[in-house]
Amino acid sequence: MLTLRDIDTGKMVVVKAVHGRSSFRQRISEMGFIKGREVFVMKNAPFRDPIEYRIMGYNISLRRSEAALIEVMTRQDAADFEDRYNGTLIFDKKEKKKNQQQTEIKVAFVGNPNSGKTSIFNCLTGKHEHVGNYSGVTVDAKKAKIKYNNYLIHITDLPGTYSLSPNSPDELFVRDHLLKEHPDVVINVVDSTNLERNLYLTTQLIDMDVPVILALNMQDELEKQGDKLDTQQFSKITGIPTVWTIGTKKKGSDQLLKKAIEVVENTDPHQRHIHINYGTELEQSINNVQKAIWQAKNYIREFSSRYFALRLLENDEHTKENISYLDNCPDVLLVAEHERLRLEKLLHERPQTLITDARYGFIRGALHETLKRSAHKKERNITEKIDRFLTGKYTGFPFFLLSLWIMFQATFKLGQYPADWIDTGVVWLAGTVGKLIQPGPVHDLIVDGIFGGVGGVLVFLPNIVILFFFISLMEDTGYMSRVAFIMDKLMHLIGLHGKSFIPLIMGFGCNVPAIMATRTLENRSDRLLTILIIPFMSCSARLPVYILIAGAIFPQTAGTVIFGLYLSGIVVSIITAIFLKKTIFRAKEAPFVMELPPYRIPTMKSTIRHMWSKAKEYLKKMGGIILWASIIVWFLSYFPRTNETIDQHNKQLVQIEKQIENESTTINKTVIDSLETLQWQINHQLAEEQQHNSYLGRLGRFVEPAIRPIGFDWKIGVSLLSGIIAKEIVVSTLGVLYSGNDDQSLREAIQQQTYSKGKLSGQKIYSKPTSLAFLVFVLIYVPCIAVIAAIRKETGKWKWALFNITYATTLAWIIAFIVSKIAPFFV
Ligand code: GDP
Ligand code: MG
């Protein structure tokens, strides 16, 4: 056979046929390698990969191993076919009809023992192979040829197997047949009364990336049980076409052949290759092993690297043999070993178990959506019982809301105690240290700048740790996947999947890893859309602001207010998604299975490690960006220190000081008292004026007109500006700005702030409506720099980052404005 690999540089040949696995053939033909097409060899250096070709005006490079699967003929030979050859696909179709050779299909039957393979095989072939209710002992395949609609179909009945993990000679035999014989279609016969177990094999076929048709056998039995399977939906989400069969009555065998031909001809609407999602960690490992495989110069794309990667992670000896032909095989094995150890250390479970669990999770998810069990039948195990409750029509959603509410209540109420201790500690320490240092700029920098700023944020460490405790609990128990499940219907309304909800919930922790977690979404437009709405999921850095403001202004109902904020974030993201879906992302989504992994009781160790690592991150942020921001904010709020009014106040103070001294000789208490009150007042005015006159004050006054309509003063404006660096800095900035009084906590300061000028003079700045508007603004406006960078990185475009900044800020302003106007009627 003359193949493309053998053609020298500078020669032109004509494609005759493409060999190999059907998905490979499809990919290659999409590149333009269709029978009758002319290919020019641009560069073919012996032993050098890849080879460059020119076809249909495009340059394409192929690996040698791939080129070896493309059969070609010389132009001279092609010219001999001239009467039939006109260089288009039409030639292809004519050829198919004339040449029986071209219309042969290889079909393989696989399935669990006793699923009815042989019965169907006999129906199709008219043979009388032994049908028996026991597992076969002979490792053998029965073969037959039949003609159907111009096709010659080779059918192979393979031994029954429960899986393709080589636990037995049967399983190895089936696997080798699939890998070496490349059947065009695999007919997976399943006992439809026992789908959970039967579909396990199917998941492995999916991983192998072979075209599968599911023969849902024993339809009669299923009907007797009263169960119902929605095959349309099933095919839609799994990408596998289905056919109902009754092996004993010949029912469905004709449709099976029809489907097989449809799949080969690529006309089945559902047939597509999907990836079973094995979870973040496993997917990362799979990807790393795949990358190693791709490094091989002689890797043939016709074998699924994902399948091999999975198998190597399962430590499968035969796969090691299968890939021994790769020129970098030792490297690949090393990577796989490394990943296996990594997974085991991280998740405390053998990768085999993790993979098996994920497969059953996939099956459970697929069936949960499609299989209706008859009412009298009870769930088979605890997992299903729990699922019935947690994902139930009437129970699932309320439970989810309840658990969110509990989460935020606990975050606020439980966290309050340790937070108060830290608060007291910080105030005490600031006071003590303050006494040791002489009054002056250094004193102020340390007490107001550093203790005020960093201390103000440090207080919230316990709250953050508790929040992460709940999030890690949700992830580790498997509840997160159920949440995705119950959210699916709602998410469909906004054109997304329940699966997108997991990154969204992770966004409650921190938006940055949540944006990275969208990598598990295969559909690019889904992914972009999810990335763009994640910033509205209120991250834990925003929590300190909520706790501070809600705790100060709504002491009784702070937990509920915070819960409401989180919900509002969800609502905003939903509205945004609908808006974007209607305008930019109109592409239709591809349906897929949502896995329902088994429930696990999380280990104390992993939960504590999770919390500790978050605490560490938080403390690092304190010592880094928040410390620097506090110092800068302090500096900007401290200087410059003179102007006319300030000098005047200072003079007044000196005078009063003198007067008090004079009066003290006469010991006239009332006079001294009134002088001291005056002194306090002027001091207060002085501090106000100094802040007002500072660089920060000028900046604040510059932005103030923009936020005035919402009721924000310049200090809030400045804190919002600095919050762009990181949301905690909103708090640290307020901490610096309100730090005049050493033994007053930030919360008390917030409660007591009043307007000093204008028509609102004397009124509280943090009224309930303004506070709510402030909270809503913090929730919605520009995410922090890290998130913007993550959006830019994951979408690959500045466009989306800029979009997010403008959209979020505009929206924040509008909603905060509305809240400030409506809230007075309610609070
Ligand atoms: P194999 O092990 O997968 O080859 O399964 P067989 O074809 O040997 O069938 C196993 C048993 O299931 C036999 O007793 C068949 O008669 C029975 N069987 C096969 N298909 C059906 C079906 O659709 N309905 C019912 N009720 N029984 C079936
Ligand atoms: Mg059999």
Secondary structure, 3-state, 532-571? HHHHHCCCCCCHHHHHHHHHHHCCCCHHHHHHHHHHHHHH
Q: What are phi and psi of 766, to 5 degrees?
A: -90, 65
Q: What angle do CA 756, 811, 468 make, to 5 degrees?
A: 90
Quote helix, strand, coil % in the chain, to nearest 5.
65, 10, 30
Q: How far is the CA of 228 from the centre of ligand 1 (A)?
A: 20
Ligand 1 centroid from CA 116, angstroms? 4
Pocket of ligand 1 contains residue 247 by CB under 6 Å:
yes
Query: For residue 84, what pLDDT is reported?
Result: 42
Q: Residue whose CA is closest, atom 2 of ligand 1?
A: 114
Q: Return the amino acid letter for 679.
A: Q
Confidence of residue 83 (pLDDT cuts 50, 70, 90): very low
Q: Cα–Cα–Cα angle for 367, 373, 377, nearest 5°?
A: 130
**Banded model confidence at residue 131, pLDDT cuts 50, 70, 90:** low
Lowest average pLDDT, out of 103-107, 385-389, 688-692, goes to 688-692
Distances from the Cα of 383 to the Cα of 137, 380, 701, angstroms: 35, 8, 59
Alpha-carbon span 44 to 31, nearest angstrom: 19
Closest Cα to atom 19, ligand 1: which residue?
Answer: 116
Q: Taking residues 515-542, what's their average pLDDT?
A: 84
Q: Looking at the CA of 217, which ligand is closest?
A: 1
* Cα–Cα distance, 809 to 812 (Å, whole number): 5
Q: Residue 104 carries which DSSP code?
A: E
**Mean pLDDT, residues 100-124:** 83
Q: What is the C-alpha separation between 398 and 312, in angstroms, rounded? A: 42
Pocket test of ligand 1: the residue of 130, 157, 248 to mutate, having most ligand atoms within 8 Å of its CB, is 248
DSSP, collapsed to helix, strand or coil, labels residue 153 as: strand
DSSP-derived 3-state class of residue 273: coil
What is the Cα 453 distance to its own chain's centre? 34
User: CA end-to-end span of the chain, whole Å?
Assistant: 84
Q: Identify the pLDDT of residue 349.
A: 84
What is the whole-number distance in angstroms between the Cα of residue 263 and the centre of ligand 2? 24
Relative to the alpha carbon of 123, which ligand is closest? 1
- How remote is the CA of residue 247 from the centroid of ligand 1, in Å? 6
Residues 771-812 pLDDT 10s: 999 999 999 999 888 888 889 888 888 899 999 999 999 999
Cα(191) to centroid(ligand 1), Å: 9
Average pLDDT score over residue span 581-597: 75
Looking at residues 278-294, what average pLDDT do you find?
90
Could you tell me if 409 and 717 are in contact, meaning their C-beta atoms sit under 8 angstroms apart?
A: no
Contact present, 175 and 318 (Cβ < 8 Å): yes
Q: Please tell me the residue having the least CA distance from ligand 1 atom 6.
A: 116
Partners of 147 in beta bridges: 152
Residue 535, number of CB atoms within 10 A of its CB: 30
Strands (E) across 301-457 are located at 371-372
Ligand of minimum distance to the alpha carbon of 141:
2
Say yes or no to pLDDT of 743 above 70.
Answer: no
Cα separation of 403 and 179, whole Å? 48
Closest CA to 673 of 686, 659, 684: 659
pLDDT averaged over every residue in the chain: 83
CB 221 less than 6 A from any atom of ligand 1: yes
| Neighbouring residues of 201: CB distance < 8 A, sequence distance ≥ 6 | 110, 111, 112, 161, 162, 163, 164, 188
Asked if residue 669 has pLDDT above 60, the reply is yes
Residue 131 token pair: 């049908």
Percent of the chain with pLDDT over 70: 92
List the structure tokens of 362.
Answer: 């996939």
Ramachandran angles phi, psi of 43, nearest 5°: -150, 120
Q: Is the CB of 131 under 6 A from ligand 1?
A: yes
Res. 724: pLDDT tops 90:
no
**Atom 17 of ligand 1, nearest CA residue:** 116
- What is the C-alpha to C-alpha distance for residues 307 and 313, in angstroms, rounded to an integer? 10
Task: Let me know: does 766 contact 719? Beta carbons within 8 Å.
Answer: no
How remote is the CA of residue 26 from the centroid of ligand 1, in Å? 35
Written as one string, the DSSP assignment of 480-546 is HHHHHHHHHHHHHHTT--GGGHHHHHHTTT-HHHHHHHGGG--SHHHHHHHHHHGGGS--TTTHHHH
- For residue 451, which of 437, 435, 433 has the smallest C-alpha distance? 433
Q: Which-ligand-closest: CA of 223?
A: 1
Render 684-742 in DSSP notation, one character per residue: HHHHHHHHHHSHHHHHHHHHHHHHGGGT--HHHHHHHHHTTT-THHHHHHHHHHT-SST
Please tell me the distance from the alpha carbon of residue 434 to that of residue 440, in angstroms, as a whole number: 10
- Token pair, residue 372, equals 């209706």
C-alpha–C-alpha distance, residues 769 and 563, integer Å:
17
* Whole-number percent of the chain with pLDDT over 90: 20
Q: Which residue is closest in CA terms to ligand 1's atom 8?
A: 131
99 confidence band (pLDDT: 50, 70, 90): very low
**What spacing in Å lies between the alpha carbon of 303 and ligand 2's midpoint?**
28
- Cα(305)–Cα(283) distance, integer angstroms: 13
Q: Would you say 110 and 158 are in contact if contact means Cβ atoms under 8 Å apart?
A: yes
Q: Give the pLDDT confidence score for residue 569 in this predicted structure.
A: 93
Instruction: Give the amino acid at 400.
Output: F
Which of 390-399, 647-656, 752-761 is least confident?
A: 752-761
Q: Which atom of ligand 1 is nearest to the CA of 130?
A: 8
- Looking at residue 326, the DSSP 8-state letter turns out to be S
* Total number of residues shown for the chain: 827
Q: Where are the beta strands (DSSP E) in 166-254?
A: 185-191, 212-217, 228-229, 242-244
Distance (angstroms) between ligand 2 centre and the Cα of 173 equals 14
* Contact residues for 474 (Cβ-Cβ < 8 A; gap 6+): 403, 480, 483, 505
* pLDDT of 761 over the 80 cut: no
Tell me how far apart the alpha carbons of residues 452 and 430 are, in angstroms, rounded to a whole number. Answer: 8
pLDDT at 81: 54
Judged by its nearest atom, the ligand closest to the C-alpha of residue 135 is: 1
| pLDDT-based confidence at residue 188 (cuts at 50, 70, 90) | very high
